[in-house]
Structure 1
Amino acid sequence: MADDLPGWRQCLLGGAVFVVCMVGTTLPTPLYALYQDKFGFSELTVTVVYAVYAFGVIGVLLLAGNVSDAVGRRPVLLWGLGFAAASAVCYLCANGLGWLYAGRLLSGLSAGLFTGAATAYVMDLAPRGGATRATFVATAANMGGLGCGPLLAGVLAQYAPWPLYLPFAVHLALVAGSAAVLLSLPETVREPQPLRSARTQRPGLPAEVRSVFVPAAIASFVGFALFGVFTSVAPAFLAQSLDVHNHAGTGLIVALAFFASTAGQLAVGRVGLERSLPLGCAGLLAGLALLAGALRWDLLPLMVLSALVGGCGQGLAFRGALSAVAEASPADRRAAVISTLFVVAYAGISVPVIGVGVLVNPLGLEGAGLVFIGCMAVLASTAAVYLLRRSVRARA
């Protein structure tokens, strides 16, 4: 075990860099109400601003999801940190809606570069035989970073000066420190090629991955859609329907979903990878039901329970999905396949969220949320049925 310590130290440092990048992607969440007051835009605009980030992620994953397999992990991650820094600068300079769009797009480009490459990098840095633990480090870094963003911004906005500036100044400093850490870590791609040698890889899956990809992709879509609603629409619901105007409180409630996801991922070790996906789907269904109750009866406790239960279900499902897909992937296609899974997941963040924003005017926030919940419940049930049928066939 002592011989493994340097490898695990590097693995954890890689995970810490991953955390810092993901913090920036959710940092604006508790600040949207302040931006609405400052610039006077609608709830639909909030969802579009939020979704621009997802489109940036998807674009990078589709065009450059496999680039780190060729040119190396570190160059791609350094570019990702550069986009994260540029995003923070946009928010610091924001004097209109255009700056918010630019900041979200740059944040999406950063997350898109990090999502596949950083996950593969953390797994590469782990000692031999540590793939399962490394997968947890990577997914926990992803979700933990997403949770720390609204919590950090909410606390600073509520209790420190310059609420629309200080959170991004702090993140800019964290990005600079992360770049220094990244430069101290080794490159894990054995023979990196020049950028011109990289070729865009169309979305696709090796044959050996397809049988595990369908339920993994559906569960990932639903889980990320739930998070999308929490991070874009939940602050408005908390303020308008539940009279929660404390930015730190809003940030904490949103962060609970992501922290519960990390706890769900940790629980995979106890429940086993085979059972994590179906149990995760069940948790997502329960979380959606609790969210429906919170919207219907304006109950804060149900909102908190929805974050905890739905987040835990998402963590169980997502770690199970990522582990199954990564293990089934050829080594030279791992980052590309992981990126394909994240394309589906981030589609869940963007498309349903914009749909909710479109429906807010004719149906109201409650009606739009209930339509969203019904659609996501159908998808989660479909994934669960698929998994059960496959399990029955495997035992026959």
Structure 2
Amino acid sequence: MDGDLRGRRQSLLSGAVFAVCMAGTTLPTPLYGLYQQKFDFSELTVTVVYAVYAVGVIGVLLLAGNASDAVGRRPVLLWGLACAALSAVCFLSATSLGWLYAGRLLSGLSAGLFTGAATAYVMELAPHGGGSRATFLATAANMGGLGCGPLLAGVLAQYADWPLYLPFAVHLALVACSAAVLLRLPETVGERRPLSTVRPQRPGLPPRVRAVFGPAAAATFVGFALFGVFTSVSPSFLTQSLNVHDRALSGAVVALAFFASTAGQLVVGRVGLTRSLPLGCAALLAGLALLAGALWWELLPLVVLSALVGGIGHGLAFRGSLAAVAQASEANRRAAVISTLFVVAYAGISLPVIGVGLLAGPMGLEGAGLVFIACMTLLVSVAGLYLLRRPVPATEADEARRT
């Protein structure tokens, strides 16, 4: 009993460290408007600064995504916290646009180091028989942390002094506390190898996975693209088109999408894998439609509903996609296939956002957003129709639920 209690406590503490790191990656979201005023850059530059983060994540996933299997979980997570701390220092020191690029790149490196290692660490610290709960804890820490970042920055920027400095100072203190916590947690990798043994991971896609991977990747791409637009340009849209200058409200709208995703991922356990992917596609379509209405009629309630519905769709589609490709993969290729799905996800969070930035100049933010919505609607519709015609095979848990 004492061992189970200790395992639950350690798993919760590792989840809290995970959340702190991920919060730093979305911390600048409600502050981009202030940086635009300070450094006088365009909407395109905002999207490029945002997308630099994805470059860092994808680079780490491909080059060192399996590093924690060799050198241990704690060393990799400590490197991730160091990158998060350096990112905060860059934003605190920002006197030009270059500091923002450096801060976002370091933030991406921290997220890339944490994504796989922290997920495995949370699950490995859990007591025997608590795997399902630990999986949700890791997911909730990831998405919940991403949601807490804009909420924290928005509230501090709106109601406290030094809006471009205090959020990062607070996060730097949280990172220091997280490092202290991490140093007291046990290592879970038994046989460790030197860092020189780590080799770049090549994304893999065996033939038996391809039929499932296509629609799963499309749904994942759209879900992360929707998040990318929300976290990069929605604060500008709220300010410029809806005349909303409350940064706490702007941060809360973005946070709502991430919290709704956590709720959507929790629902997957109830509806089953076979239904979660098509339901996720349907919810993403509804979220895109609501966002289109918000852009067309310039209505704040539709923006909020879009964040809520689109976030739930993201959670259903993403957790369903992960489960589907993991189920279809052979054990010795599973990590490579999942890495490929994460590369697709972070391509979704960056490439469409840059496209919106490019179109925002000649077409305006609303027009660029509508073009983005049309493209994403087509993509997720094709994925949804495919899944209706060729559903993902049910798992044993799904069959047990039906009986």
Could you say which TM-score interval applies, normalised by the shorter chain? over 0.9
The residue that corresponds to 2:32 in the other structure is: 32
Aligned-partner Cα distance in 2 for 1:123–1:110: 20
- Distance 1:108-1:65 versus aligned 2 partners, 3 A rule: same
Equivalent position SS for 1:187: coil
Q: Deviations over 1:59-101 (max 9, x none)?
A: 1111111222222221111111110000000000001100000
Amino acid at match of 1:187: E
Amino acid at match of 2:71: V
Amino acid at match of 2:263: A
Contact 2:61 2:201 in 1 (8 A): no
The residue that corresponds to 1:165 in the other structure is: 165
Contact 2:274 2:391 in 1 (8 A): no
User: 1:164-203 to 2 correspondence within 5 Å?
Assistant: 164-203=164-203
- Distance 1:379-1:335 versus aligned 2 partners, 3 A rule: same
The residue that corresponds to 1:50 in the other structure is: 50
Contact 1:291 1:302 in 2 (8 A): yes
Amino acid at match of 1:56: G
Contact 1:71 1:195 in 2 (8 A): yes
Amino acid at match of 2:282: A
User: 1:370-389 to 2 correspondence within 5 Å?
Assistant: 370-389=370-389
**Count of equivalent residues:** 394
Equivalent position SS for 1:106: helix
Q: Deviations over 1:103-135 (max 9, x none)?
A: 000001111111122122222222334333222
Equivalent position SS for 2:243: coil
Q: Deviations over 1:203-258 (max 9, x none)?
A: 11456654543333222111110000001110010001111001101011111111
Aligned-partner Cα distance in 2 for 1:220–1:227: 11
- Distance 1:310-1:392 versus aligned 2 partners, 3 A rule: closer
Aligned-partner Cα distance in 2 for 1:274–1:65: 29
Q: Please, which moves more after superposition, 258-267 or 203-212?
A: 203-212
After TM superposition, give the deviation of residue 272 of structure 1 in Å.
1.9
- Distance 1:209-1:72 versus aligned 2 partners, 3 A rule: farther
Q: Please, which moves more after superposition, 84-93 or 112-121?
A: 112-121
After TM superposition, give the deviation of residue 6 of structure 1 in Å.
2.5
Aligned-partner Cα distance in 2 for 1:253–1:69: 37
Structure 2, unpaired ranges of 5+: 395-403
Aligned-partner Cα distance in 2 for 1:60–1:2: 37
Aligned-partner Cα distance in 2 for 1:92–1:150: 17
The residue that corresponds to 1:11 in the other structure is: 11
Amino acid at match of 1:83: C
Q: Please, which moves more after superposition, 63-72 or 202-211?
A: 202-211
Equivalent position SS for 2:186: coil
- Quick check: 1:60 aligned with 2:60? yes
Contact 1:120 1:334 in 2 (8 A): no
Aligned-partner Cα distance in 2 for 1:278–1:186: 40
Contact 1:139 1:262 in 2 (8 A): yes
Contact 1:116 1:338 in 2 (8 A): no
Structure 1, unpaired ranges of 5+: none
- Distance 1:120-1:145 versus aligned 2 partners, 3 A rule: same
Q: Deviations over 1:318-369 (max 9, x none)?
A: 1222233445556666555433322111100110000000000111111100
Amino acid at match of 1:286: A
After TM superposition, give the deviation of residue 2 of structure 1 in Å.
6.9
| TM-score (normalizing by structure 1) | 0.94
Contact 2:31 2:153 in 1 (8 A): yes
Aligned-partner Cα distance in 1 for 2:307–2:47: 19
User: 1:348-363 to 2 correspondence within 5 Å?
Assistant: 348-363=348-363
After TM superposition, give the deviation of residue 44 of structure 1 in Å.
0.6
User: 1:1-396 to 2 correspondence within 5 Å?
Assistant: 4-205=4-205, 209-327=209-327, 335-391=335-391
Contact 1:115 1:339 in 2 (8 A): no
- Distance 1:155-1:146 versus aligned 2 partners, 3 A rule: same
After TM superposition, give the deviation of residue 144 of structure 1 in Å.
0.6
Contact 1:66 1:336 in 2 (8 A): no
| TM-score (normalizing by structure 2) | 0.93
After TM superposition, give the deviation of residue 193 of structure 1 in Å.
0.8
Q: Deviations over 1:34-54 (max 9, x none)?
A: 111111111111001001111
Contact 2:356 2:372 in 1 (8 A): yes
